[in-house]
């Protein structure tokens, strides 16, 4: 019988079990592992084999010995130092409670493709992953193959504490008071204010609001900004002009939408009293503006002759100027987030746990005109 081979298999099993317990969080940072005697008895191996298993994990940076005290799970920072791959990889994490996986992937991946060269010059690579409602972390997070995290969407505190903290991290758009990290977000009040201000400058006083994601945090902030801005300009808000509902979720997730959805079941209340019909709508984004225009055209209302529309966009400004819209500057938000993250990784940020707020930019398109004015016809070529 080959006792050495048996002992080696037992040693590998112990090392594997300890490693899995550390990477999964079952053995948290600073936790003491069982004594060599206890492990030897549990695995039916010699104490010398136990030491070999522990030595292998110490060499990987997962454990550290404290003379006269015991063996403990190493801080994540020490684990990263001994993992050359992790020092070059940043994880972008999309929480699917906010965006469908398709929507998040099509939105963020093109941005990261464009800024990959910025990261490459500094020796970093970016990974993309999404987290479903089962909150199962991606393998790169479990294996500690990363040195920092950028995340978008509402981050559950237990998930943060178990899988991310104390890694350097930056949150996009959805700041959570219980989580101490950097945040980068758009100024949602300014977004609504600029829309109301511009429409008011064109003579619009009956201004409505359209969104089919009323329960989403960003929409709620923008709706609140709309109400406050209307008050600041002494403009009346008619409840019939508020077209703000939540489309259904499937298994807790929002599915990707098709373009040009008929909103008339929701919009029709705004036109029940002819003398109080709105002359403009602020839409959640250009996608909703397109469906709003599609619906209005179906019932014989013309944009912008009878109804002006203001939308918003994250990317592809060149393709978005059909609508007067707010640029949410998502690419700049991502760049700022990555710069903050790299500063935390390199420990060059003088101020920790910052919240950076960018103001959106208004672009004038073809969906707004002054009240009572007919748009100029294009000259025939």
Q: Which residues fall within 8 angstroms of residue 6, CB to CB, at 6 or more apart? A: none
Contacts of 118 (CB under 8 A, 6+ apart): 335, 338
Is residue 368 very low, low, confident or very high in pLDDT (cuts 50, 70, 90)? Answer: very high
Select from 2.40.50.100, 3.40.50.2300, 3.40.50.720, 3.30.1060.10 the CATH code of 86-186+332-358. 3.40.50.2300
Torsion of Cα atoms, 322 then 326 then 332 then 336, to 10°: -170
**pLDDT over 60 at 335, yes or no:** yes
| The pLDDT value given to residue 221 | 96
> Over 333-380, what HEC string results?
HHHHHHHHHHHHHHCCCCCCCCEEEECCEEECCCCCCCCCCCCCCCCC
Instruction: Dump pLDDT digits (tens) for 121-135.
Output: 788 888 888 888 888
- Mean pLDDT, the chain, rounded, equals 86
User: For position 308, what pLDDT does the model report?
Assistant: 98
pLDDT digits (tens, 9 = 90+) for 27-37: 888 889 999 99
Write the pLDDT tens digit of every residue in 190-245.
999 999 999 999 999 999 999 999 988 899 999 999 999 999 999 999 999 999 99
Q: Would you say the C-alpha torsion 119, 125, 128, 131 has a positive or negative sign? A: negative
Quote the tokens at residue 243.
């077209």
pLDDT at 377 over 60: no
CB within 8 A of 121, min separation 6: which ones?
none
CATH homologous superfamily of 188-327 equals Response regulator (3.40.50.2300)
Q: Where in the chain is the domain with CATH 3.40.50.2300?
A: 86-186+332-358, 188-327
Instruction: With H, G, I as helix, E, B as strand and everything else as coil, classify residue 47.
Output: helix
* Higher-confidence position of 141 and 100: 141
Structure tokens at 240: 């019939």
**For residue 272, what are the contacts with CB-CB under 8 A and spacing of at least 6?**
240
pLDDT, one tens digit per residue, over 69-96 is 899 988 755 555 555 545 578 999 988 6
Class level of CATH domain 3-81: mainly alpha
pLDDT digits (tens, 9 = 90+) for 136-168: 898 888 887 888 999 998 899 999 999 999 899
* Contact assessment for residue 96 and residue 156, using Cβ atoms and an 8 Å cutoff: no
Indicate if the pLDDT at residue 4 is higher than 60.
no
316 Cβ contact partners less than 8 Å away, ≥ 6 residues apart: none
Nearest to 256 by CA among 92, 94, 95, 104: 104
- What's the helix, strand, coil split of the chain in %, to 5? 40, 20, 40
Token look-up 């709508």 returns: 281
Residues of the chain with CATH 1.10.10.10: 3-81
End-to-end C-alpha distance for the chain, whole angstroms: 92
List, as one string, the DSSP characters of 117-171. HHHHTTT-EEEEEEE-TT-PPPHHHHTT--SEEEEES---HHHIIIIITTS-EEE
SS3 assignment, position 75: coil
């Amino acid at each position: 019988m080959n006792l050495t081979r048996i002992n080696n298999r037992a040693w590998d099993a112990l090392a594997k079990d300890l490693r899995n317990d550390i990477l999964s969080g079952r053995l948290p940072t600073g936790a003491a592992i069982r004594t060599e005697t206890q492990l030897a008895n549990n695995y039916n191996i010699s104490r010398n084999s136990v030491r070999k298993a522990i030595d292998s994990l110490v060499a990987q940076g997962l454990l550290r010995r404290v003379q006269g005290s015991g063996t403990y799970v190493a801080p994540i920072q020490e684990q990263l130092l001994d993992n050359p791959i992790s020092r070059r990889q940043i994880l972008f994490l999309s929480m699917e409670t906010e965006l469908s996986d398709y929507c998040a992937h099509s939105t963020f991946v093109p941005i990261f493709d464009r800024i990959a060269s910025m990261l490459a010059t500094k020796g970093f690579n970016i990974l993309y992953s999404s987290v479903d409602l089962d909150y199962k972390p991606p393998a790169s997070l479990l294996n500690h193959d990363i040195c920092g995290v950028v995340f978008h969407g509402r981050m559950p505190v237990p998930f943060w504490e178990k899988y991310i903290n104390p890694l350097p991290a930056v949150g996009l758009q959805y700041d959570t008071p219980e989580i101490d990290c950097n945040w980068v977000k758009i100024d949602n009040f300014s977004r609504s204010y600029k829309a109301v201000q511009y429409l008011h400058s064109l003579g619009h006083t009956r201004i409505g609001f359209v969104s089919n994601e009323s329960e989403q945090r960003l929409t709620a902030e923008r709706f609140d900004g709309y109400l406050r801005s209307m008050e600041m300009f002494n403009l009346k808000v008619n409840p019939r002009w508020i077209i703000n509902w939540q489309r259904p979720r499937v298994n807790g997730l929002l599915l990707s939408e098709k373009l040009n959805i008929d909103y008339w079941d929701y919009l029709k209340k705004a036109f029940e009293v002819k003398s109080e019909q709105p002359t403009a709508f602020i839409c959640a984004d250009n996608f909703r503006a397109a469906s709003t225009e599609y619906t209005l055209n179906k019932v014989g209302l013309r944009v912008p002759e009878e109804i002006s529309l203001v939308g918003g966009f994250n990317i592809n400004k060149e393709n978005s100027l059909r609508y007067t819209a707010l640029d949410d500057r998502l690419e700049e938000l991502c760049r700022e987030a990555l710069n903050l993250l790299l500063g935390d990784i390199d420990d060059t940020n003088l101020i920790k746990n910052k919240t950076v707020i960018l103001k959106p930019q208004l672009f004038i398109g073809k969906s707004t005109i002054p009240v009572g004015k007919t748009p100029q016809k294009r000259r025939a070529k």
